[in-house]
Amino acid sequence: MRKRIRDCRGAWIWLAILIPAISAGAGYPETTALEEVLSIGTFDDDALFQWVGVTVDREGNIYVVDAMDYAIKKFDADGKLVGQCGRRGQGPGEFTAPRLLDSSEKFLFVTEQYQPVIKVFDKKLAFQFQISLDGPVGDIKALRDDLVAVAALSSANKSRIHFYDRKGRVVKELNFSERPSPLMMDMVSFDLDSQGNCYLAFNFVDRIVKFDDSGKRLWSRDLLGVDRVKREKISSLVVPTEIVYKDIALDGDGKIYVLGGKFSANRSRDVYVIDPNGEHISTLTLPEPSHCIYIDRNGYLYSRANDGITLKKYRMKGAAKGQAGQRRPGR
Amino acid sequence: MKVKFSDWLIFLVFGGLVFFHFHGFDALEGTALPQRNVLSIVGAMTESQDEGNTLLLFILDFEDFTCLSCLDSFLGLYRMLPSPYKNFQAWGVLILKDRGEDRGRAVRIAEKKLRGFVRANGIAFPILVDRSRIFSALEGKGSGVVLFDGKRKTCQWYDFPLTGEQFEEVFARLTQ
């Protein structure tokens, strides 16, 4: 009997090690792997000098805003440059600081930094018209050819997402915070699904929120345990200087992808994957820091490399175990 | 009289660059000198009375150009420059902060961005990329323009964005 126990002792030791490890592993969300399928822009070519916005159409053409070149560039699905428009200026089709980009069936919508305007181009890159807004743009989402949702940057419109028609009329708005926030603390990136649900990632607060089409809050999540971000006085204004979440995007299955900022285990590289009910299901890590993420209708993920001179396209595949976010004690 | 390249070299290297490297502008600005004249100029250029004895050195940092007023100020000044300055009587230095990354890669990225920047904005004067951090004392100082005035034997720094008064002052000194 004693011998049998002694013989089993090795097994007990292994179980003692493995059970906690397995339990701990089960507590960690899975890490999705990325496979690079396309890269646009090298050190030596003139394809991209500083890209800031990207969108992809139904045919797989990739449209990119190149801020350094004051241009929209169109690449085919193989990454070949097939068109370009724009230059520095204030005339029709010209830019002073182009930034965000999104597309509808017919049009491309481009924002200008600090300007209350969206410039609209067709898919052949011909300027069509511009939409005047109530304030500068923090984020946009094109919903239809004649409807675009805008998170405002201006303090006059804080805590609101406005839905504009092509004449610049507000046809709907979502109030996502009942209480007034300090300057910039209500800045969000957002995306909408086909049911009209709106997903917000606060840029300077550890908060990801889902609203339904009627504006009712369905859930709110914090992933990183950040109590408060650093705020500094710049000129006469006190503004936050540490970004918590940089961007949010949805895939065709309704999964939510949130790009972490300073407080992530891998700064500006960790992308938290959340199910439609708000459960953190996995984390993927970009090879290089990015300022944004974009997911096309086929589930490919686009992000930045080489500090903006390269655009990468990835297939998201498989799942490997790994630690998700790094919870950070509050300060 | 045409400005000789050797004059440029003497002026820039011994009159300006080395000083910046060892002291930086913060030290200069603490010196009690009238009208923020921060550096005495020694060299062949100072004795010359031709129009080429005022030079501009643009200190550029792409991080500052997310500040649109800084970018607009730089481009606005550039567009107003008299013709010699647009082409050869101004130089630029692109500051590359050390961010703890592969320096060679950072330089290649910066060179490409600079190529796009120069092309898109029609910049014609030469811009040096600070590959070896010779100008490390200026990292964090921000973008600005340094006016080397051979006639007045002064050197003065102006931060971008320039105020209206500063803009007029620089322009006046270049065209007088």
Give A235's pLDDT tier (boundaries 50, 70, 90).
Answer: confident
pLDDT in tens, A163-173: 999 999 999 99
What percent of the residues of chain B are helix, what percent strand, and what percent coil, each to the nearest 5?
50, 15, 30
A7-11, A240-244, B102-106, B108-112: the lowest-pLDDT one: A7-11
Residue-level pLDDT at A155 = 62
User: Which pLDDT does position A154 carry in this prediction?
Assistant: 61
Instruction: Collect all residues of chain B within an 8 Å Cβ-Cβ radius of residue A71.
Output: 120
Q: How many domains does chain A have?
A: 1
A5 domain residue, yes or no: no
- Residue A56, number of CB atoms within 10 A of its CB: 21
**For residue A227, what are its two tokens?**
């109590």
pLDDT tens string A256-265: 999 999 999 9
Among candidates B71, B72, B116 on the partner chain, residue whose Cβ is nearest the Cβ of A49? B116
**Which of the 8 DSSP states describes residue A29?**
P
The whole-angstrom distance between B138's CA and the closest CA on chain A is 20
Q: How many CB pairs under 8 A join A and B?
A: 45
| Contacts B72 to A, Cβ<8 Å | 96
- Asked if A96's CB is within 8 angstroms of B68's CB, the reply is yes
Q: Which of B108, B112, B114, B129 to mutate to test the interface with A (most CBs of A within 10 A)?
A: B112
pLDDT of residue A215: 93
**What is the model's pTM?**
0.82
Residues of A numbered 64-83 whose beta carbons fall under 8 angstroms of chain B's beta carbons: which are they?
Answer: 66, 68-71
The structural domains of chain B, with segments of one domain joined by +, span 5-175
In a mutagenesis test of the B interface, which of A40, A50, A94 is the best target, namely the one with the most B β-carbons within 10 Å? A50
Residue contact A306–B113, C-beta within 8 A: no
In a domain? residue A17: no
Q: How far is B23 from chain A (nearest CA, A)?
A: 26
Q: Identify the domain containing residue A112 by its residue range.
A: 30-321
CB contact under 8 A, B112 and A69: no
Q: How far is CA A267 from CA A41, A246, A264, B160, in A?
A: 23, 10, 5, 30
* pLDDT value, residue A318: 58
Q: Which of A133, A159, A155, A285 is nearest to A217 (CA)?
A: A159
Are A49 and B108 within 8 A, CB to CB? no
pLDDT tens, A15-57?
A: 444 444 333 333 444 556 899 999 999 999 999 999 999 999 9
Q: What is the pLDDT of residue A32?
A: 65
Out of B72, B105, B116, name the one closest to residue A68 (CB).
B116
pLDDT of residue A157: 54
Asked if the structure places residue A82 within a domain, the reply is yes
Of B39, B1, B17, nearest in space to B9 by CA: B17
Residues A245-301: tens digit of each pLDDT: 999 999 999 999 999 999 999 999 999 999 999 999 999 999 999 999 999 999 999
Average of per-residue pLDDT across A191-199: 95
Q: A113 touching B, CB under 8 A?
A: yes
* Among A residues 119-158, those touching chain B with beta carbons less than 8 Å apart: none
When the pLDDT of each residue in chain A is averaged and rounded to a whole number, the result is: 87
CA–CA–CA angle B139, B143, B145 (5° rounding) = 120
Contact indicator for A170, A162 with CB cutoff of 8 Å: yes
Residue B166 to chain A, least CA–CA distance (Å): 19
What is the structure's pLDDT at A14? 45
Cα maximum dimension of chain B: 46
Q: Is residue A41 part of a domain?
A: yes
CA distances in angstroms from B23 to A212, B40, B55, listed in the order given: 59, 14, 21
What would be the CATH architecture of the domain defined by B5-175?
3-Layer(aba) Sandwich (3.40)
Asked if residue A313 lies in contact with residue B113, where contact means CB atoms within 8 angstroms, the answer is no
- Compute the distance between CA of residue A232 and CA of residue A239 in angstroms, rounded to an integer: 5
By C-alpha distance, the chain A residue nearest B105 is A306
Structural domain contains residue A59: yes
Nearest Cβ partner for B68 among A66, A87, A114: A114
Q: What is the pLDDT of residue A104?
A: 97
pLDDT digits (tens, 9 = 90+) for A87-122: 999 999 999 999 999 999 999 999 999 899 999 999
Residue B170: C-alpha distances to residues A299, B80, B156, B165 (Å)? 54, 10, 10, 9
Whole-angstrom distance between the N-terminal and C-terminal Cα of chain A? 57
Interval A131-141: pLDDT, tens:
999 889 999 99
Q: Which of A71, A88, A306 sits opposite B109 (nearest CB)?
A: A306
Distance from CA of A52 to the nearest CA of B (A): 12
The interaxial angle of helices B68-80 and B164-175, nearest 10 deg, is: 20
Mutate to test the interface with B, among A44, A46, A49 (most CBs of B within 10 A): A49
Q: How far apart are CA B83 and CA B85, in angstroms?
A: 5
Are B120 and A43 an interchain contact pair (Cβ–Cβ within 8 Å)?
no
CB < 8 Å to A66, chain B: 116
The answer to whether residue A156 scores a pLDDT higher than 70 is: no
**A97 and chain B: CB distance < 8 Å anywhere?**
yes
Contacts of B117 in chain A (CB under 8 A): 49, 68
Q: Which CATH number do you get for residue A93?
A: 2.120.10.30
Contact B117 A49 (CB under 8 A): yes
d(CA A270, CA A284): 6
Q: Is residue A125 part of a domain?
A: yes
Q: Within chain B, which residues score under 70 in pLDDT?
A: 1-53
In whole angstroms, what is the distance from residue B60 CA to residue B63 CA?
9
Q: What is the pLDDT of residue A201?
A: 97
